[in-house]
């Protein structure tokens, strides 16, 4: 029997892959998507959505919200005159709610595949060869059964997996990566976290709010090295002093011992040696690209020095009509970055002018307060010897923030000293994840700070702080 043939074959059904498949189908291509059976729905059927929907963005934000509400009921209601006695958290209910959201959204992607007539192939995709204009890809199911399908274009979107450390075996029960850390069945009394990156801070916050004594060991001497220094300073103060997260920077873990009762981590810090004893441990030390089993060697698909698939600015690999998007290639490991690349590649295949502006990709950390930024930090501008002006306004001066009882943080805008063009915007505060969108739009349209300063912002809203920060660039804030 002849192999099935498609115009476009996507390997991996995460945000990069499923969006690429939908856009390719919209553009009229016969499209298939291979998704390994890493995630299964309650019926045991393969689930789409990848890391993001199953064990990443979506479930973590569901738990962050639940824990935030618990924290507010326990500590913040009182300032409004509300008494909430004996507030309790039923962890299994919280986890069930999170699981239901995941089920709903992953099923939704399957619905979108049906609507767009995309063929879903369950199994592990692996390059097998090329015949004439068709790439051949083997799809191997869990049961060992295999078929070969063919396509003119292949988009690799196999994503990433958690990096583990030698000598620290992850069982996702006691020692967890993101998968286990999103499904703990009770609040651990003492929680250890290795890595003060995005996952360490977000998931550390969840369990801290629910009552864990959380200690984070970070190898680097700097905290949130990629963020603007003003943000880092404010975040450090808030997380460690106000919220009581214990974060040790420059910690070198020398041994980890697990007994029936606990986990003991020996680490060096400065001139001293210390031991951290905890009941659960989260290992969140970055992620590695998924290329094992992809058959790269079978067809000569080139990887870079960090094991990622090598691509140019348009996500083209070294092979004709083979593309790669998302976490498996260079750039930040962010769902929205992968999705944009998926759209770009589908449009380029269709002969359109697909494009991703990597300079305006927003970054968000969903702690409380939230942290969000777009563009350059002050450190980058100094290193690049770019002259700039700064406008920084605290939420403390904003009526809406006061009314909401949440005034931590600020908006900081950096604009070119010569042209006034916005070069970077950094927000720490409530709803920073939503506020940053205005700055992204402004930068995408090449706006200057004066443009934001002259836009009417609704009153009273948190967005007025963005307005005031733009005015402050020109040293004329109205309310500060
Ligand atoms: P993935 O989502 O990893 O999907 C790849 C898919 O390919 C998987 O389903 C995998 O099973 C499949 N696959 C792999 N190999 C094969 C193969 N050979 N054949 C067939 N299928 C294969 N990003 C954000 O932007 N915002 C957030 O708030 C956020 N929160 C996060 C929280 C956590 C805890 C984690 C772990 C990540 C978070 N991320 C967040 C990152 C985000 O999840 C990733 O950037 C995003 O999922 C990457 O998308 P992708 O499509 O490239 O890969
Ligand atoms: P990360 O790169 O954000 O942080 C990892 C941290 O671990 C770093 O600070 C690193 O210095 C530290 N580290 C590495 N080895 C160590 C060791 N041996 N001992 C102690 N510390 C060590 O990675 P992550 O937190 O695992 O998250 C993975 C990716 O997922 C991120 O790159 C991020 O893009 C994505 N993510 C995004 C969001 C979001 O957008 N809100 C949320 C979660 C995850």
Bridge partners, residue 374, by sequence: 425
Please report the pLDDT score of residue 388 as a whole number: 98
Q: Ligand 1: distance of its center to the CA of 51 in Å?
A: 3
**How many whole angstroms separate alpha carbon 99 and alpha carbon 97?**
5
**How many whole angstroms separate alpha carbon 455 and alpha carbon 468?**
11
**How many whole angstroms separate alpha carbon 160 and alpha carbon 50?**
9
**How many whole angstroms separate alpha carbon 468 and alpha carbon 412?**
10
Question: 4-162+288-356 and 175-285 share one CATH topology?
Answer: yes
Please report the pLDDT score of residue 7 as a whole number: 98
**How many whole angstroms separate alpha carbon 56 and alpha carbon 368?**
18
- Establish whether 459 is a catalytic residue: yes
Q: Does any ligand 2 atom lie closer than 6 A to the CB of residue 89?
A: no
**Which ligand 2 atom sits closest to the C-alpha of 252?**
19
**Which ligand 1 atom sits closest to the C-alpha of 124?**
19
Contact 413, 374 (CB under 8 A): no
**How many whole angstroms separate alpha carbon 291 and alpha carbon 324?**
11
Please report the pLDDT score of residue 40 as a whole number: 86
Q: Does any ligand 2 atom lie closer than 6 A to the CB of residue 334?
A: yes
Domain boundaries, the chain: 4-162+288-356, 175-285, 360-473
Please report the pLDDT score of residue 152 as a whole number: 98
User: Would you identify the CATH topology of the domain 360-473?
Assistant: Enolase-like; domain 1 (3.30.390)
Q: Whose CA is nearest to atom 28 of ligand 2?
A: 286
Q: Does any ligand 1 atom lie closer than 6 A to the CB of residue 367?
A: no
**How many whole angstroms separate alpha carbon 400 and alpha carbon 405?**
9
Cα dist. 86→61, 75, 83 in Å?
25, 12, 10
Burial pattern 134-162, b for ≥16 Cβ within 10 A else e, equals bbbbbbbeeeeeeeebbbbbbbbbbbbbb
Residue in 4, 2, 76, 37 with CA at minimum distance from that of residue 293 = 37
Q: Ligand 2: distance of its center to the CA of 66 in Å?
A: 23
**How many whole angstroms separate alpha carbon 464 and alpha carbon 448?**
17
Q: Whose CA is nearest to atom 19 of ligand 2?
A: 219
**How many whole angstroms separate alpha carbon 408 and alpha carbon 431?**
11
Please report the pLDDT score of residue 324 as a whole number: 98
Q: Kindly give the interhelix angle for 198-209 and 57-71, rounded to the nearest 10 degrees.
A: 40
Please report the pLDDT score of residue 44 as a whole number: 86
**How many whole angstroms separate alpha carbon 371 and alpha carbon 218?**
19
The two three-digit tokens of residue 146, written as one number: 């295999």
Among 75, 314, 355, 459, the one annotated catalytic = 459
Environment class of 418 (CB within 10 Å of its CB; exposed 0-12, middle 13-18, buried 19+):
exposed
Residue in 405, 423, 402 with CA at minimum distance from that of residue 413 = 423
DSSP for residue 322? E
**How many whole angstroms separate alpha carbon 89 and alpha carbon 105?**
25
Q: Mind giving me the DSSP string for 365-383?
A: E-SSSEEEEEE--HHHHHH
Helix (H) or strand (E) segment spanning residue 190 = strand 190-194
Q: Ligand 1: distance of its center to the CA of 52 in Å?
A: 5
pTM for the whole structure: 0.97
Q: Does any ligand 2 atom lie closer than 6 A to the CB of residue 283?
A: no
Please report the pLDDT score of residue 285 as a whole number: 98
CATH superfamily of 4-162+288-356: FAD/NAD(P)-binding domain (3.50.50.60)
Count Cα neighbours of 224 within 13 Å in the Cβ-side half-sphere: 27
Give the ligand with the smallest distance to the CA of 370. Answer: 2
**How many whole angstroms separate alpha carbon 97 and alpha carbon 110?**
20
Please report the pLDDT score of residue 374 as a whole number: 98
Question: What is the end-to-end Cα distance of the chain in Å, rounded?
Answer: 74
Ligand 1, pocket-test mutation among 50, 184, 202, 372, most atoms within 8 A of CB: 50
Q: Whose CA is nearest to atom 14 of ligand 1?
A: 158
Ligand 2, pocket-test mutation among 198, 201, 281, 368, most atoms within 8 A of CB: 198
**Which ligand 1 atom sits closest to the C-alpha of 178?**
34
Q: Does any ligand 1 atom lie closer than 6 A to the CB of residue 59?
A: no
Q: Ligand 1: distance of its center to the CA of 269 in Å?
A: 33
Please report the pLDDT score of residue 375 as a whole number: 98
Bridge-based pairing state of the strands 252-258 and 263-269: antiparallel
User: Would you identify the CATH topology of the domain 175-285?
Assistant: FAD/NAD(P)-binding domain (3.50.50)
**Residues lower than pLDDT 50 in the chain:** none
Residue in 463, 440, 280 with CA at minimum distance from that of residue 374 = 440
Contact 356, 435 (CB under 8 A): no
Please report the pLDDT score of residue 58 as a whole number: 98
């Amino acid at each position: 029997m002849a192999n099935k043939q498609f115009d476009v074959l996507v390997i991996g059904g995460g945000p990069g892959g499923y969006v690429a498949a939908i856009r390719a189908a919209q553009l009229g291509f016969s499209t298939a998507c291979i998704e390994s059976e890493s995630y299964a729905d309650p019926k045991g059927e393969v689930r789409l959505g990848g890391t993001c929907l199953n064990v990443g963005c979506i479930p973590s934000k569901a738990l962050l919200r639940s824990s935030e509400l618990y924290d507010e009921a326990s500590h913040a209601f009182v300032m409004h005159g509300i008494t909430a006695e004996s507030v309790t958290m039923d962890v299994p209910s919280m986890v069930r709610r999170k699981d239901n959201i995941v089920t709903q959204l992953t099923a939704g992607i399957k619905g979108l595949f049906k609507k767009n007539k995309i063929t879903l192939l369950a199994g592990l995709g692996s390059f097998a060869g090329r015949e004439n204009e068709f790439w051949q890809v083997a799809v191997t199911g869990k049961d060992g059964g295999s078929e070969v399908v063919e396509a003119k274009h292949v988009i690799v979107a196999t994503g990433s997996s958690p990096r583990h450390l030698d000598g620290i075996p992850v069982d996702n029960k006691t020692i967890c990566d993101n998968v286990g850390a999103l499904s703990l069945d009770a609040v651990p009394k003492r929680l250890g976290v290795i890595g003060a990156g995005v996952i360490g801070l977000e998931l550390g916050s969840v369990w801290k709010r629910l009552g864990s004594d959380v200690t984070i060991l970070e190898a680097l001497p700097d905290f949130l090295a990629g963020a603007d220094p003003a943000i880092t300073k404010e975040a450090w103060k808030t997380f460690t002093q106000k919220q009581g997260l214990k974060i040790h920077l420059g910690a070198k873990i020398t041994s980890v011992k697990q007994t029936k009762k606990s986990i003991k981590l020996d680490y060096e810090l400065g001139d001293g040696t210390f031991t951290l004893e905890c009941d659960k441990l989260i290992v969140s030390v970055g992620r590695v690209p998924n290329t094992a089993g992809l058959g790269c060697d079978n067809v000569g698909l080139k990887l870079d020095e960090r094991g990622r698939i090598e691509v140019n600015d348009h996500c083209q690999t070294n092979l004709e009509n083979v593309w790669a998007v998302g976490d498996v290639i260079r750039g930040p490991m962010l769902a929205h970055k992968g999705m944009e690349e998926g759209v770009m590649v589908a449009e380029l295949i269709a002969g359109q002018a697909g494009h991703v502006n990597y300079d305006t990709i927003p970054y968000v950390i969903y702690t409380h307060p939230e942290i969000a930024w777009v563009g350059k930090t002050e450190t980058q501008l100094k290193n690049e010897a770019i002259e700039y002006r700064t406008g920084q306004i605290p939420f403390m001066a904003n009526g809406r923030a006061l009314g909401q009882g949440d005034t931590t943080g600020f908006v900081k805008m950096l604009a070119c000293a010569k042209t006034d063009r916005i070069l970077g915007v950094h927000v720490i505060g409530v709803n920073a994840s939503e506020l940053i969108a205005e700055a992204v739009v402004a930068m995408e349209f090449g706006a200057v700070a004066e443009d934001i300063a002259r836009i009417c912002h609704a009153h009273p809203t948190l967005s007025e702080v963005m307005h005031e920060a733009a005015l402050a660039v020109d040293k004329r804030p109205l309310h500060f």
